Structure 1
Amino acid sequence: MVQPKQNTVNPPLFPVGSNIVFEWVFDNTTLVFPPANLTIEVALTSNPKMVWPVANVSGTATSTSWKTDAVVPSLFMGFYTLSVYDTKLGKQGVAISGHLMPYSDLQFGMYIPEPYVPRTGAFCNNCKNGISGATSTLPLRTSQVLQSVILGLSTFIAIWGLAL
């Protein structure tokens, strides 16, 4: 893979709705019989049964563009694995000498961007000297609130269970 670069420690991240360009090169010293067609798809790494087609291209193609805003069903926030393989052999196919070996080493992340919410509280334009003197509050996302409630309940239950 030429683009995006493979990085197992810090996988590339893309916002859902963006246009992602996948670019690759072939090793022409070992690829004697190029495939007629390539299938490019992504699968949710945590659930490989959830697969989204990216493109079916000529076997000589070295890139494709994926418009994630047009994907149906919608993508989830999470990590995905890219697969590029000879359409005739399939993703699990075994390449014989001189043919293209299926590729599935690139992992990347997708996130759902949220609109910017300005900070309120400690610094404000309408306050004396730009400082309100009150405590600062930041808006919480629903998932953060839910996580806080679950953590609080589980802590309460654990402590209550020890008291019995």
Structure 2
Amino acid sequence: MKLTIIIFLCCLVLSAAYSESPLRLHDLAARNGPQLPAVSSNSAVSSSTKTASSSRSSITSTATMTASASTVSSSISVDPRSPPGGVSMITPAITASETYIKVGEYATFSWNYTSLSVTPSAVNVEAYCSINKYYYPIAENLTVKDTQVVWNTSGYQETASIPLLVAEYTLYIYDASSNPSAVASPGYLAPYNNLVFGVYTPQPYTPLNSYQCATCSASFSLIGRNVLRGTLAMSLISCLFTILFMMR
């Protein structure tokens, strides 16, 4: 009997001991608050290394972009005292007194560039007519190596929506990225417009007895006939007076 009581008391003591341990751990956790997981020193060093590497990469990229922009800027730098680029005509010669182009034939234009520091990516060649204010295309998107064009006036006239007029034209050679009336900067191609030429259309043959002068005036012809008659009459009177004087 005594042995049974002793065993029962031991069980109670053990049960009380195990039940108090979780409570004490729970109370300790409540007093200290939630605990964050510790960060190892290796992770901190790795993070710092990544940040430093990113900073160096950003600095290197910025320096590269700045150097690249500086290179591009310096590659197109032109002395502001330099004159604009120009065109020197070879065919037809600018010294020629008059130049005429007959519709139906081929017209050749050739030239050289002068004082050109910045090469245009493309050049247009056009003929401007002041009567209808129209730029007739001769050649488009030429390179600076292409310094001669041959204009097929017959082929153009057959397919053109705006046909060539019998009139005077001004030849324009200019940078395709600009316009014919632009003011060029130093070293850049200035629009050329110093060549004036005439364009005419040949007329069909007309017999002389059927020809009528389009620029002649009927009133002028009448005056001319009257003057001729007066001149003949005065000549005849002069002759009569001369004969009478000689007969005396």
Which of 57, 65, 75 is the aligned partner of 2:150?
65
Larger radius of gyration: 2
Report the equivalent of 1:130.
none
SS of the equivalent of 1:101 reads coil
What amino acid does structure 1 have at the position aligned with 2:181? Answer: Q
Long gaps (5+) in structure 1: 120-136, 157-164
User: Which of 110, 127, 139 is the matching residue for 1:42?
Assistant: 127
Residue 179 of structure 2 corresponds to 90
Q: Deviations over 1:88-126 (max 9, x none)?
A: 121111211111111001001111113445x6xxxxxxx
Check if 1:140 corresponds to 2:228: no
Post-superposition CA distance 1:43-82 (Å, at most 9, x none): 11x4261221111112331111110012213211121110
Distance 2:137 2:219 in 1: 41
Aligned-pair CA distance for 1:7: 4.3
- Sequence identity of aligned pairs in percent? 27
Mark the CA change 1:139 to 1:2 in structure 2 (over 3 Å): closer, same or farther: farther
**Structure 1 residues 99 and 48: alpha-carbon distance in aligned structure 2, compared to 1, 3 A threshold:** farther
RMSD (Å), alpha carbons: 2.4
CA distance in 2, matches of 1:3, 1:110: 16
The separation in 2 between residues aligned to 1:34 and 1:139, in whole angstroms, is 58
CA shift for structure 1 position 153: 5.4
Distance in 2, matches of 1:155 and 1:138, equals 17
Does the CA-based 8 Å contact 1:6-1:12 persist in structure 2? no
* Structure 1 counterpart SS, 2:218: helix
Structural mapping, 1:10-159, within 5 Å: 10-27=97-114, 30-44=115-129, 46-47=130-131, 49-56=133-140, 57-71=142-156, 72=160, 73-116=162-205, 137-141=208-212, 144-145=213-214, 147-148=215-216, 151-152=217-218
Distance verdict in 2 for CA 1:50–1:155, change over 3 Å: farther
1:24 partner amino acid: W
C-alpha distance in structure 2 between counterparts of 1:139 and 1:81, whole Å = 36
SS in structure 2 at match of 1:94:
coil
| Contact residue 59 and residue 86 of structure 1 kept, 8 A | no
Amino acid at match of 1:96: S
Q: Taking structure 1 as reference, are residues 61 and 88 closer, same or farther at Cα in structure 2, changes over 3 Å only?
A: same
Mapped to 2, the partners of 1:79 and 1:7 lie a distance apart of 17
Q: Could you list the runs of 4 or more consecutive aligned residues of structure 1 that deviate by over 6 angstroms after TM superposition?
A: none
Unaligned runs of 5+ in 2: 1-88, 223-248
Are positions 1:2 and 2:86 aligned together?
A: no
C-alpha distance in structure 2 between counterparts of 1:39 and 1:24, whole Å: 13
TM-superposed deviation, 1:139: 4.1
Instruction: State the partner residue of 1:134.
Output: none
Could you state the TM-score of these two structures normalised by the residue count of structure 1?
A: 0.69
Q: Which has the higher helix share?
A: 2
